[in-house]
């Protein structure tokens, strides 16, 4: 059913925030992989509650009108949606740059060709390891690595730009040089080396995923050397685990400042993990226009700007650089989403955060709690 959005709920009584330029569209939570570091919520949206095609098309139109420049088509596995090509064509029509974020294991050359013909601008392909042994073990999917390699080569054969996305943790951090070489071999223009971030399902597996401090700083040295050596040939983005940081990351470049996230069921979130914070009211695109949500939803205004900050953050010279750090991490560690992010060395919980990391990293081999999602026979 195509739901018609209602007009703005109320006049805007505060200075309007700048328009977002990015939107993560989680088209589905269905996924053939079972990665233990999965960043999706613990409770996944089922296929029966996913937005229908026409509602997604309306959301994309509203996003373009709001000022969004690029949309990341994600999941789960976005190619589980049979209407993906229709969505891509619509995004092209309304002027949105489209990035497909895929695991690649179920994508045939024919489907890739159709996605390319629809006008996709960029493909981001995940690898759980730089070798088949690691990829297949982490994803709990036999043959995943070879399928990903085939998809990467087909993406480049079609002339599409390619990013390799590698989530790094204890089982594969030693493979960072190999990930970089793999990206070069596959003709990728960019690689994202992102350490696991511990929210939701990944938090359950922190004891099995956390690398040691020495491993993390070795990895940083490897990345910096590769950046200098491959400048102009390969862009390398890196995200370190907050547990070993001195300063918090400017999560989403500030809550409700630059981007938004639409879940498969239509809830709009200020960040991917925002549902881990209890008490926030997330408005849904079934009842509200995207502009209304961006400007007026209580969840977006809860931690927007600096007024909400505790005194320790308000008095900090970095308050409009870090924007308070990560609210979901403050919730997970401090039990209070408005607390100073424990990743900050000024936080009274910073030493506790580091102690948690060191204890997990010293725990030895721990079995994964795999994320399991049974893919229905029939997709949208």
344 assigned binding-site residue = no
Query: Can you state the percent helix, strand and coil of the chain, rounding each to 5?
Result: 40, 15, 45
Q: What is the DSSP string of 238-304?
A: EE--GGG-SS---GGGSTTTSEEEE-TTSBEESSTTGGGSTT----BTTTB-HHHHHHH-HHHHSS-
Give helix 144-157 / helix 132-139 axis angle, nearest 10°.
110
Q: What does the alpha-carbon distance between residue 304 and residue 94 come to, in Å, rounded to a whole number?
A: 28
Residue 328 is assigned to a ligand binding site: no
Is 35 annotated in some ligand binding site? yes
| R_g over Cα of the chain | 20
Extract the annotated binding site for [4Fe-4S] cluster: 31, 35, 38
Extract the annotated binding site: 31, 35, 38
């Amino acid at each position: 059913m195509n739901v018609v959005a209602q007009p703005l709920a109320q006049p805007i009584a505060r200075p309007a925030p700048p328009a977002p330029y990015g939107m993560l569209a989680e088209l589905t939570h269905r996924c053939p992989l079972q990665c233990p570091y999965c960043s999706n919520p613990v409770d996944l949206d089922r296929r029966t509650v996913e937005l229908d095609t026409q509602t997604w098309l309306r959301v994309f139109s509203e996003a373009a009108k709001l000022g969004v420049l690029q949309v990341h088509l994600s999941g789960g596995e976005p190619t589980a949606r049979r209407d993906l090509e229709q969505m891509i064509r619509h995004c092209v029509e309304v002027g949105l740059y489209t990035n497909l974020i895929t695991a690649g294991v179920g994508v045939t050359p024919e489907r890739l060709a159709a996605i390319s013909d629809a006008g996709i601008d960029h493909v981001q392909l995940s690898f759980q390891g730089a070798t088949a042994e690691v990829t297949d073990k982490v994803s709990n999917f036999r043959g995943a690595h070879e399928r990903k390699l085939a998809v990467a080569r087909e993406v480049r054969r079609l002339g599409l730009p390619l990013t390799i996305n590698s989530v790094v943790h204890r089982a594969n951090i030693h493979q960072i040089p190999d990930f970089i070489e793999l990206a070069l071999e596959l003709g990728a223009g960019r690689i994202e080396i992102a350490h696991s971030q511990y929210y939701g399902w990944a938090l359950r597996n922190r004891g099995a995923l956390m690398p040691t401090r020495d491993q993390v700083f070795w990895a940083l040295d490897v990345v910096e050397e590769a950046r200098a050596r491959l400048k102009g040939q390969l862009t390398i983005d890196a995200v370190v685990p907050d547990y070993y940081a001195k300063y918090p990351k400017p999560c989403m470049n500030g809550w409700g400042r630059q981007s938004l996230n639409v879940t498969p069921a239509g809830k709009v979130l200020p960040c991917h993990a925002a549902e881990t914070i209890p008490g926030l009211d997330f408005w849904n695109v079934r009842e509200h226009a995207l502009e209304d949500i961006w400007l007026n939803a209580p969840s977006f205004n809860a931690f927007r700007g600096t007024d909400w900050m505790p005194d320790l953050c308000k008095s900090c010279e970095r308050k409009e650089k870090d924007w308070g750090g990560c609210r979901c991490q403050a919730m997970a560690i401090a039990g209070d989403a408005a607390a100073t992010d424990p990743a900050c060395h000024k936080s009274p919980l910073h030493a506790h955060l580091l102690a948690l990391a060191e204890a997990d990293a010293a725990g030895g081999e721990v079995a994964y709690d795999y994320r399991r999602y049974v893919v229905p026979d029939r997709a949208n």
